Structure formats: structure tokens, C-alpha cells
Amino acid sequence: MNVEEELKEAMRAQVDEVYAPPSMGSAVRRRRRRSLTRFRTAGAVLVTAAVAITVPVVLTNTTPTPGPADAGAPAIAVPGIVVPDVIGMNAKQAYLLLEQAGLTPMIMTPGESTVDGAKADSVRAGENVILTSPAAGAVIEPKGLVQIKVPWVPAPTGSPEPPVDQSSNDNLGDLGDGLTWMGIHVSYLPEGVKWGGSSYVGGFGAKSATVPYVTEGLEEGMYSVQVIVSADAKLLHRDGEQVAPGTWISSYGEGGEKLGFGTGSTLTASRDFPGDLAVQVLFSPDYSKSLGEAKAKEEIAKVIAAIRQEK
Amino acid sequence: MTDEDEAAFDEFVAARSTALLRTAILVCGASAHDAEDLVQGALEKVYRHWSRIRADNPEAYARKVVVNSAITRSRRRKVIREITFAAPPDTPVDGPDLGLREAMLAELRKLPTRMRAVLVLRYWEDQSEIETAALLGCSVGTVKSQAARGLARIREAMVEGVPA
């Protein structure tokens, strides 16, 4: 079998047992017209009838929230299975146990975000379960999906450095105005952009840090302008338009592929500093869009040109 | 909205929401709960414009909303630290050897969201390259290159995922 077919088969196996809950139609209406009291009983009954035909065995992954609108949803008696407690157990044993219990286990990677601070090659997935979703004791449908999570643990070989502790000390602390850090000074930012109060260490290779800058009213966790400093030369994208000696500008997609300016790509400026220091400036897709292409490119060039090394 | 519109919407939901939910799970990386929320949101948009779009391929519209909100959601989540270096650890998750299929799915989840969306649309939904490009609002060339790169990474995982 070729990879396309294998992949399709794997995807099929993953979602084969997932069915939309019969209350979907009413849930959508509830979202749409929360304020309206009128509820189309006739419509809900019709949903029930139609779903009963298309989905012979109704298995859902979530329990519909009880509410007045659910009065119209069908009451289908589903025999439940209690999720056993497998925390601390070897993931493979947990997998088999859940499978034997009539559930559909799925071992999840610990999540991309938790590994950012550590060097990618210094961690591997651990063997013992730290979390299941739904948690032990929950009653779910037969063959219901149970996610098993394992932690990242330091790899036995590789970097002698332990993974960076994610809890508290993986940032640069209080940076004051947030413009001077890791031996650089950000002396120009576009109007309305200021330090957002956060910083991250180690996400971009050894001796790296990144600081996001935000505009007024930006949602928590988002950035408008982000500056990354790293000793890792991989940070330099030399394939962009060269705007100054050792400075390049282009837009890249999520996978690092070069794209045109626009939605789905991140406007990125890279600059090669003396002493093996690479600096990258990113304008978020939303922020770039708000400026427009010409202005965004002009501003990013000014930001990167104005970054200087502190002696 | 007329009663007939409402009834047609119910039929549409009954017939298509499972398929949309499965696609959403695959695109946003396996959380059924999140996926359901996403599908509800998408269907709400469909419902809002139902009388206008019901005659004009509402399924394609709903799929587009589902896929794009899955991409947006994932991008918002990881925007801070993984913008240009979206590649998580190269080494596959090699804890328990769960065989080929799990290795492939694990690799699929590690791909950048857009690349994963391309693979799901192309190989799960059997959408053509042109349809996939239209759904994602990108060029056919991008679909081709993303699919090729995604498959290459999955293929590597297959090789490494096979128990020795």
C-alpha cells in the first residue's frame, strides 16, 4: 500500500467511530438565537428522525449540555463505560487496558507548545501516562475516544543541558521598557507598538530568546511585532529580498516556506550580526495586514535596521 | 427563513455534520470536543446565511469555514514561539511502539496546520488539488508542494514507525 492509502486508512481508523451528536442542529440554533424563546419543536423532532436514520448507532464524544433546548433532542439510551484510572501506568499498558475496556485509546504527543523552551533534540516522549481526557471515572460511550497524554522527558543522550524549566524562569524577567535584552537594543518600533510584558528563552536554539511587542487591545498571547535573537544561524533567512548588508526581508508560511505577502504568511526580516548573532523580526499576519504591504515592509526594515548590539 | 428553509437545514445538518466533525478532528489534531465546538460554530455561520447559500453548495461553504477556523485556531495558539520554526522534534514519539498507523497519525499531528489541512482534504476528503486550493484560498502549486512535503514527512515516520 502506498503512503496516501496508508494515511487515508490511518485517518479513517482515527475518526471512524466519531459521530456528530444528534443535538447538533439544536445546538447550532441555540448559539444563533440564544435570545429567542421560540423553539421549533417540529424542527428538532425532524432532526431526531433524520439522525436516527443516518446514524444507526449514535455515539458521541461529548455529553450534550443539559438545557431547555435539549428537550427536543432525542433521549437515546447509550450504555456507558467508566474510564479507568491509568495515570502513572506505562502508556502501552494503558492503551491495551483502555482497549480491553471497550474504549478507543489514543496516545497523544505531549503537545507542541510544551517543548518549545527545550532543545528539540534533548527531549523525547515519556512512557508514563500523566493525563487522560476524559479523566478517570467519567462515563463515556462504548468505543469513545480516550486521549492518553505522556510528558516530554529529557532524552537519554544528546545535549548535556537539562531541558529548560518551563514553569517560571524561562523568561528574561522584567525588561523595563522591554527594549534592551540579550545584548541588543530595539531602538525603533512602529507607532503604537510596545512591549507586551512577556519574553521566552530557548525556543529558537541555544542562547536564544524572543520578545513579543503588541498593539493596544491585542488579545492575550498574541503578538504584533516579535523580535528573536539567537546564536543559531538557522534563524537567518537569506533567501529574501536583501534590503541592507546582511539583512533580508520576505514572508514565510507556518512550515517556513517562502510565500508572498498576505494572509497565512508572516513578514519576516533577518539580520546577521557580528559574533554569530542572528536577529529576526516578525510582523504578525494581522498586524502586517493592518499596515498594508508597502507600509509593513517599510516599517519592518526600519525596525531591523534600528536594532543595535549593546557593548 | 421559511419553514422549508428550516427543514432543509435540518436535513443538511443530519446528513453532513458527522463528515464535518471528522474533518475538523483530523485538521485540528484530534480533540473531539474542540472539533465539535468548531463545527457548531461553522454550522452557525451556515445557518445565518442559509436562505442565500442553500441552493449553492452549502457543504463546500461549511467545509471551508471548518477548515479555516481550525487553521486560525491552531495558528493563534502557537503564534508566539513557533512562527518560523514550526517543525517540532524530528525524532518521532517513540515511546510505546504502537505501530505504523499511530506513528503516521502522530506525525500528522506534528505537521504545520495548513500542511495537515492539505493532507486531510486531499487524502481523507478526496478533494482535488483545485478544490483544496479553493478551500484554503491558496494556489494549486502551494497545495502540490504542501502535500508532497507532508507526505514525505509521513513516509519517514512510516519507515521509523515500523517495529524492527
Q: What is the spatial distance between Cα A86 and Cα A95, in angstroms, rounded to a whole number?
A: 9
- Asked if residue A141 belongs to a domain, the reply is yes
- pLDDT tens per residue across span A214-259: 888 777 667 888 888 888 777 777 888 888 888 999 888 765 677 8
Q: What is the mean pLDDT of chain B?
A: 78
- pLDDT tens per residue across span B30-72: 567 778 888 888 898 888 888 888 888 888 888 888 888 877 7
CB-closest option in B7, B81, B96 to A116? B81
Determine the residue type at B3. D
Nearest CA in chain A to B9: A25
Q: Is residue A125 located within the same domain as residue A207?
A: no
* pLDDT at position A111: 52
- Asked if residue A168 belongs to a domain, the reply is no
Strands (E), B4-116: none
Q: Is residue A277 located within the same domain as residue A202?
A: yes
Positive or negative, the Cα torsion across B140, B142, B148, B153?
negative
* pLDDT at position B97: 45
Q: Is residue A227 located within the same domain as residue A287?
A: yes
* Residue A50 or A33, more confident: A33
Residues in chain B within 8 Å Cβ distance of A67: none
Instruction: Indicate whether B130 pLDDT > 60.
Output: yes
CB-closest option in B14, B89, B115 to A50? B14
Q: What is the spatial distance between Cα A101 and Cα A138, in angstroms, rounded to a whole number?
A: 13
> What is the grid cell recorded at B63?
467545509
- pLDDT tens per residue across span B94-123: 444 457 788 888 888 888 888 999 999 999
- What is the pLDDT confidence band of residue A304, given thresholds at 50, 70 and 90? very high
> What is the grid cell recorded at B66?
471548518
Separation in Å, CA B97 to CA A100, A154, B20, B111, B163: 18, 19, 31, 20, 7
Q: A193 and A226 in contact (C-beta within 8 Å)?
A: no
Instruction: Indicate whether A31 pLDDT > 60.
Output: yes
* Residue A14 or B127, more confident: B127
Across the strands, what pairs with A90? Answer: A128
CATH number reported for the structural domain that contains residue A135 in this entry: 3.30.10.20
Is there a contact between A257 and B145 if contact means CB atoms under 8 Å apart? yes
Q: How many CB atoms lie within 10 A of CB A275?
A: 7
Across the strands, what pairs with A107? Answer: A148
Q: What is the percentage of chain A residues whose pLDDT exceeds 70?
A: 68
Q: Is residue A247 located within the same domain as residue A282?
A: yes
- pLDDT tens per residue across span A103-137: 877 776 555 434 444 445 555 666 778 888 888 87
Q: Is residue A241 located within the same domain as residue A292?
A: yes
CB-closest option in B90, B95, B146 to A91? B95
Q: What is the spatial distance between Cα A143 and Cα A17, in angstroms, rounded to a whole number?
A: 7
Q: Is residue A269 located within the same domain as residue A207?
A: yes
Q: Is residue A90 located within the same domain as residue A34?
A: no
Q: Is residue A275 located within the same domain as residue A197?
A: yes
- Asked if residue A291 belongs to a domain, the reply is yes
* pLDDT at position B95: 44
CB-closest option in B41, B91, B106 to A124? B91
- Asked if residue A281 belongs to a domain, the reply is yes
Instruction: Indicate whether B74 pLDDT > 70.
Output: no
- Cell 510505546 sits on residue: B96
- Asked if residue A160 belongs to a domain, the reply is no
- What is the pLDDT confidence band of residue B140, given thresholds at 50, 70 and 90? very high
Q: Is residue A29 located within the same domain as residue A139?
A: no
Nearest CA in chain B to A150: B95
Residues in chain A within 8 Å Cβ distance of B105: 10-11, 14, 106
- B105 burial class (0-12, 13-18, 19+ CB within 10 angstroms)? buried
What is the CATH T-level fold of the domain B84-164, as seen in this structure?
Arc Repressor Mutant, subunit A (1.10.10)
Determine the residue type at A177. D
* pLDDT at position A186: 92
Q: Is residue A300 located within the same domain as residue A188?
A: yes
* pLDDT at position B78: 44
- Asked if residue A257 belongs to a domain, the reply is yes
Q: Which residues touch B136 (CB under 8 Å, ≥6 apart)?
A: B67, B68, B71, B114, B117, B118, B121, B142, B143
Q: How many CB pairs under 8 A join A and B?
A: 232
Q: How many CB atoms lie within 10 A of CB A11?
A: 23
Q: A107 and A46 in contact (C-beta within 8 Å)?
A: no
* Residue B134 or A124, more confident: B134
- Asked if residue A265 belongs to a domain, the reply is yes
Is there a contact between A264 and B30 if contact means CB atoms under 8 Å apart? no
Quote the minimal CA–CA distance from B164 to chain A in Å: 17
Q: Is residue A221 located within the same domain as residue A125?
A: no
Let me know the angle formed at the C-alpha of A128 by A122 and A129, rounded to the nearest 5 degrees: 115
* pLDDT at position A203: 65
Cβ within 8 Å of B, A 6-35:
6-15, 18-21, 24-25, 27-29, 31-32
* pLDDT at position A41: 37
* Residue A122 or A266, more confident: A266
Q: What is the spatial distance between Cα A269 and Cα A246, in angstroms, rounded to a whole number?
A: 10
Characterize the bridge pairing of strands A184-186 and A180-181: antiparallel
Cβ within 8 Å of B, A 197-226:
198, 200, 203-204, 210, 212, 219, 221-223, 226
| Whether the predicted interface score ipTM is above 0.90 | no
Lowest-confidence segment of A25-34, B19-28, B57-66 by average pLDDT? A25-34
Q: Print the domain residue range for A142.
A: 81-154
Q: What is the spatial distance between Cα A296 and Cα A281, in angstroms, rounded to a whole number?
A: 12
Q: How many CB atoms lie within 10 A of CB B148?
A: 10
Q: Is residue A188 located within the same domain as residue A295?
A: yes
Domain tally, chain A: 3
- What is the pLDDT confidence band of residue A53, given thresholds at 50, 70 and 90? very low
Q: A225 and A193 in contact (C-beta within 8 Å)?
A: yes
In chain B, domain spans: 1-77, 84-164
The Cα diameter of chain B in Å comes to: 62
Residues comprising chain A, all counted: 311
- Asked if residue A305 belongs to a domain, the reply is yes
Best of B4, B13, B145 to substitute, by most chain A Cβ atoms within 10 angstroms, is: B13
Q: A199 and A172 in contact (C-beta within 8 Å)?
A: yes
